[in-house]
Amino acid sequence: MVFNSLTFMVFFALVLALHAMPFKWTTKKINLLIASYLFYAAWNPPFIILLWISTIVDWYAAQKLVHAEKPAARRFWMLLSVVVNLGMLAYFKYGTFLLENFTVLMASIGVDYQAPAFDIILPVGISFYTFATLSYTLDIYLRRAEPAKNFLDYALFVTFFPHLVAGPIMRPTELVPQFVEPRKASSQMLFFGLGLMTLGLFQKVVLADSFLAPAAEMIYDGKGIAGTLDAWIATLAFSGQIFCDFAGYSTTAIGAAMCLGFAMPDNFRFPYAAIGFSDFWRRWHITLSSWLRDYLYIPLGGNRHGEARTYLALMVTMLLGGLWHGASWAFVVWGGLHGFYLAAERILRSRFSGYRPGPFALFLFALLTYALINITWVFFRADSFGKAWMILSGMFGMNVGAAPILPTMHLTMVTLIVSGIVFAHWQMRQQTLESFIARVPAWLLSCAWAVMAFLIVIAQGDGNAFIYFQF
């Protein structure tokens, strides 16, 4: 079920009530586990089997790994976990993509290969929970973590509903220890958690779904050729939409976990105030970027084996990071562009290592970073390279004579909301939401909370799925 649904409201109220009952801690954990399975099964019940497979294989592999004495045996159990998890991901997420590309490849060498029907439904959140379970066996293999003391704690780590389908991607060392001792939210945690959930849902339901998505759809899903203004506004709208959608999900998830007494890590840190791309990736989808860094970039050599190897590791990491988002070459290009940006930034920083920009120059660099990130969003959002090229042509003024498409309402709302987001990020770039809230008068917090809740209700969202569910 999605957070922005009536079903979730009822579900969460019941889970909170159950968690507050005077049961034993083990009983409470079993309740949370069952609730998390129900949360997942509410989309498509049979896919829960995949979740079980992933859970059991990694538990078993980790147990074997811990007791294996020979390095070869340790490597075998680690590889088993990797193959099963990535195999499931490859089959369900990339099966069609691989088959289509194989058919094209065969055709290019003159072989008329007819692919069998391969109509696969992508299980919700498979990319997220396979990464979470993988980190369990990998951390144990790398001797960074101890295995969970019991299967219940481990199963709950994999399945815990706030992070299950769209992150933040949790590491075992972040969550498993929280299940060892009884945890209960204080009234302060409960209230602040509810506040975070309201803020997250406001971002998703009001900003992303009601005002930003329609403008992006009119250009990216429409048939018209976009001129400069329309192409830029639609792309800016998408940049705001994907932030509000995904950061909204993460904020809601963090709030939901907090209401139950658990802590989840930050996934976003005001990314549109980033100065440079390495800074951007320390602020955007932090739990994925750090996962890729720890389990892909560093094992590939990181920056420890010379410049050439560093650039290679960087580019491979970003290309695969792009592919993680979706089975399409457009996502690979998106990742490749980010890899290129990061490499270019690295070169520039070493070339101009003595340069210390002033405040105004920093602001201009932040705007430049944001503008260049918008270029990458074109490939992320467009459903084909033809469409992406049309939008980019529009953004660079090459669609001369294109008829205007977006009405004044969309131009105005997107400009207001996206300017507001970028301004807020700039103001908040050196602080946390919590440190900001600590300085806001109580009456203003009450008003803001009431208005956000009111706007969520009157927006009457349709329970649109969060964008990252498809990944």
DSSP code per residue over 346-380: HHHHHHTTT----HHHHHHHHHHHHHHHHHHHHHH
CB of 105 to other proteins, least distance (A): 31
Within residues 274-303, the interface with other proteins by CB under 8 A covers 277-278, 280-283, 286-287, 289-294, 297-298, 302-303
CB of 215 to other proteins, least distance (A): 11
- Residue 191 lies near other proteins (rule: CB under 8 A): yes
Cα separation of the two ends of the chain: 16
- Residue 8 lies near other proteins (rule: CB under 8 A): yes
DSSP code per residue over 26-77: HHHHHHHHHHHHHHHHTT-GGGHHHHHHHHHHHHHHHHHHHH--SHHHHHHH
Please state, in angstroms and rounded to a whole number, the distance separating the CA atoms of residues 199 and 205: 10
Please state, in angstroms and rounded to a whole number, the distance separating the CA atoms of residues 431 and 462: 34
Residue 168: cis peptide before it, omega within 30 degrees of 0 = yes
Among 24-32, 110-118, 138-146, 147-155, the segment contacting other proteins (CB under 8 A): 138-146
Within residues 62-121, the interface with other proteins by CB under 8 A covers none
- Residue 259 lies near other proteins (rule: CB under 8 A): no
- Residue 236 lies near other proteins (rule: CB under 8 A): no
- Residue 252 lies near other proteins (rule: CB under 8 A): no
Within residues 33-52, the interface with other proteins by CB under 8 A covers 41-45
Pick from 164, 332, 333, 342 the residue near other proteins by CB under 8 A.
342
Pick from 130, 159, 178, 399 the residue near other proteins by CB under 8 A.
178
Within residues 355-374, the interface with other proteins by CB under 8 A covers none
Pick from 52, 95, 97, 177 the residue near other proteins by CB under 8 A.
177
**Residues in CB range of 113: below 8 A, 6 or more apart:** 102, 103, 106, 107
Please state, in angstroms and rounded to a whole number, the distance separating the CA atoms of residues 217 and 222: 7
CB 132 within 8 A of CB 174: no
When the beta carbons of 211 and 220 are compared against other proteins, the nearer one is: 211
Q: What tokens appear for 72 in the block? A: 């070869």
Q: Which of 135, 468, 138, 465 is nearest to 324 (CA)?
A: 468
CB 262 within 8 A of CB 101: no
Pick from 7, 26, 101, 415 the residue near other proteins by CB under 8 A.
7
CA angle, 66 as apex, 60 and 69 as ends, to 5°?
Answer: 120
Pick from 95, 372, 437, 464 the residue near other proteins by CB under 8 A.
437
When the beta carbons of 272 and 281 are compared against other proteins, the nearer one is: 281
Instruction: Determine the size of the site formed for other proteins (CB under 8 A).
Output: 103
- Residue 211 lies near other proteins (rule: CB under 8 A): yes
When the beta carbons of 195 and 326 are compared against other proteins, the nearer one is: 195
């089975």: which residue's tokens? Answer: 327
Pick from 260, 413, 418, 467 the residue near other proteins by CB under 8 A.
413
338 is catalytic: no
Q: Give catalytic residue positions.
A: 325
